[in-house]
Amino acid sequence: MPVTFDSVADLAEALRRAEAAHGRYEKEIGHYDTDWPDWYAQYMMHEQAGDAGTASG
């Protein structure tokens, strides 16, 4: 599934949402996640598909 954004502002907001969700994820796992870029990408893809709640690492 392609992930697209209508503007730079939309992409920035998606990154902020991913950052917030990833912060919660790191608290759950109890350590820094070195694979955060993969996590963000998966989260953003799931979010566009309407199922961001399934991205949990």
When pLDDT is cut at 50, 70 and 90, the band that residue 43 belongs to is: very high
pLDDT averaged over every residue in the chain:
91
Distance CA 8, CA 14 (A): 10
Q: What are phi and psi of 32, to 5 degrees?
A: -65, 135
Judge whether residue 56 has pLDDT over 60: no
Q: What are 44's two structure tokens?
A: 């953003």
Judge whether residue 57 has pLDDT over 70: no
Closest C-alpha among 43, 38, 41 to residue 56:
43
Closest C-alpha among 49, 57, 55, 50 to residue 3:
49
34 against 51, higher pLDDT? 34
The model's pTM: 0.84
Instruction: Measure the CA dihedral 5/29/53/47, to 10°.
Output: 10
